[in-house]
């Protein structure tokens, strides 16, 4: 969808995990955002308020969405203070929020982030004419300074976007929902092909795969911080959500299986799928991947690794994964060194740990 010529626009900044920038950029393009700039873990673009709400509702791969209040060259603390003090904060905040100021600086004169935070807080509270509160709605403001260019960003997300709302239980070292969705995208799953996760844990990969296949917007069942800010337009958000609901595809057209050796994890995965509204689309079972028959279709998985497994288990699991993925397509993510194996790989972060997604390159 494209923006109308005379529709006012905002500058939007979206953060994501390293390696997912191309997926977020593609989302911005699909929604009709313009002037898209991609850097490491950051995508900025211009968009209408509708685009803003669409990003919150539809983005599968992002962490947070911010609006950029101002962008200005800043090389000293006086200029930083004046820039923030000159903003009309009452257009965005009531003064009853608990304001959290965060800062990051790269290749800039102002490097000491605690001082950047302190100066910024004084400027904001001076404008609002109120002290910072210890209770109330928590609002995050990010002061991002890159090459002496300061970007003053207001977080409109609240909880990170990977928190869809369906996963209230999880196993050990669960994969984040947005990274699980990214694995499905990187694996290039064709929805008519059966998909399986033979070490499904709490079911996140299978759930995200079905949500993608059925075109279920990941933000439909959650709340966003913007809903409590002064410039929030509830009518636009409602229209975006109503449109998203109308675009959901029917259930029952896809073959997605998920299994795990732990019966308790299958119980958890079933409940997570039920809360996500996709329990009828996933066939769950208890089983040992290493000894089970090879399933049809592609495999996408986040297998156990590291000190959670014995060496003989690791060897057996990865030997089979390499064989199955190489023969059937798909991929798996791990921090374990599996050596040369004929698969392509992409560097990603999983829970802050450097991993690689191993997949069959077409």
Residues 267 and 147 in one domain: no
Structure tokens at 193: 């092909």
Q: What is the mean pLDDT of the chain?
A: 91
Residues 301-316 have a mean pLDDT of: 69
Residues 99 and 181 in one domain: no
> Does the residue 4 lie in any domain?
no
Residue 2 pLDDT: 44
> Does the residue 190 lie in any domain?
yes
Residue 173 pLDDT: 63
Number of residues assigned to the chain:
362
pLDDT digits (tens, 9 = 90+) for 167-183: 877 666 689 999 999 99
Eight-class DSSP state of 245: H
Full DSSP string of 302-360: ----GGGS-HHHHHHHHHHHHHHHHHH-EEEEESS-----S-EEEEEEETTEEEEEEE-
> Does the residue 3 lie in any domain?
no
> Does the residue 41 lie in any domain?
yes
Confidence of residue 241 (pLDDT cuts 50, 70, 90): very high
d(CA 73, CA 79): 9
Residues 133 and 191 in one domain: no
Residue 3 pLDDT: 45
> Does the residue 228 lie in any domain?
no
Full DSSP string of 23-69: HHHHHHHHTT-EEEEEETTEEEEEE-HHHHHHHHHH-SSEEEEEEEE
Residues 77 and 191 in one domain: no
Residues 135 and 201 in one domain: no
Which residue would you say has higher pLDDT here, 13 or 7? 13
> Does the residue 242 lie in any domain?
no
Residues 128 and 192 in one domain: no
Residue 76 pLDDT: 96
Residue 314 pLDDT: 80
Residues 149 and 190 in one domain: no
> Does the residue 5 lie in any domain?
no
Tell whether the model's pLDDT for residue 305 goes beyond 60. Answer: no
Domain enclosing residue 338, as ranges:
177-214+250-359
pLDDT digits (tens, 9 = 90+) for 317-359: 888 999 999 888 899 999 888 888 889 999 999 888 899 999 9
pLDDT digits (tens, 9 = 90+) for 8-43: 799 999 999 999 999 999 999 999 999 999 999 999
pLDDT digits (tens, 9 = 90+) for 79-127: 999 999 999 999 999 888 899 999 999 999 999 999 999 999 999 999 9
Cβ–Cβ under 8 Å, residues 36 and 25: yes
Residues 205 and 128 in one domain: no
Count structural domains, the chain: 2
Q: In this structure, what CATH number is given to the domain that contains residue 257?
A: 3.40.50.150
Cβ–Cβ under 8 Å, residues 258 and 202: no
Q: In this structure, what CATH number is given to the domain that contains residue 36?
A: 3.30.2130.30
Residue 4 pLDDT: 47
> Does the residue 222 lie in any domain?
no
Residue 171 pLDDT: 62
Residues 188 and 138 in one domain: no
**Helical H segments across 59-105, by residue range:** 77-85
Residues 65 and 190 in one domain: no
Residues 72 and 210 in one domain: no
What's the whole-model pTM score?
Answer: 0.92
Tell whether the model's pLDDT for residue 253 goes beyond 60. Answer: yes
Residues 117 and 193 in one domain: no
Domain boundary among 125, 155, 185: 155
């Amino acid at each position: 969808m494209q923006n109308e010529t005379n529709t006012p626009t905002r500058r939007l900044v979206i953060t994501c995990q390293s390696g997912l920038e191309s997926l977020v950029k593609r989302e911005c393009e699909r929604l009709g955002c313009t002037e898209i700039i991609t850097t490491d873990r950051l995508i900025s673009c211009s968009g209408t308020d509708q685009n803003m709400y669409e990003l919150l509702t539809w983005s599968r791969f992002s962490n947070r969405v911010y609006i950029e209040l101002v962008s200005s060259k800043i090389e000293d603390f006086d200029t930083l203070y004046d820039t923030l003090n000159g903003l009309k904060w009452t257009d965005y905040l009531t003064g009853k929020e608990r304001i959290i100021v965060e800062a990051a600086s790269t290749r800039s004169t102002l490097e000491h982030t605690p001082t950047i935070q302190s100066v910024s807080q004084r400027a904001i509270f001076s404008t609002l004419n109120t002290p910072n509160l210890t209770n109330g709605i928590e609002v995050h403001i990010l002061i991002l300074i890159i090459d002496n260019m300061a970007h003053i960003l207001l977080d409109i997300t609240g909880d990170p976007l990977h928190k869809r709302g369906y996963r209230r239980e999880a196993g050990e070292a669960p994969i984040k929902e947005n990274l699980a969705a990214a694995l499905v995208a990187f694996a290039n799953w064709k929805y008519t092909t059966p998909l399986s996760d033979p070490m499904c844990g709490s079911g996140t990969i299978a759930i995200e795969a079905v949500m993608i296949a059925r075109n279920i917007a990941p933000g439909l069942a959650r709340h966003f911080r913007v809903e409590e800010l002064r410039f929030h337009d509830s009518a636009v958000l409602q229209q975006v959500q109503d449109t998203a609901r109308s675009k959901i595809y029917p259930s029952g057209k896809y073959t997605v299986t998920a299994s795990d050796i732990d019966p308790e994890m299958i119980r958890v995965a079933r409940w997570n799928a039920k809360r996500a509204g996709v329990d009828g689309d996933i066939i769950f079972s208890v089983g040992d991947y290493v000894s089970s028959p090879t399933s049809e279709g592609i495999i996408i998985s986040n297998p156990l690794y590291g000190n959670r497994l014995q060496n003989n288990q690791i060897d057996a699991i990865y030997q089979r994964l390499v064989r199955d993925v190489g023969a059937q397509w798909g991929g798996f993510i791990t921090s374990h060194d599996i050596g040369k194996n004929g698969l392509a790989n992409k560097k990603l972060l999983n829970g802050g740990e450097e991993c690689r997604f191993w997949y069959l390159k077409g």
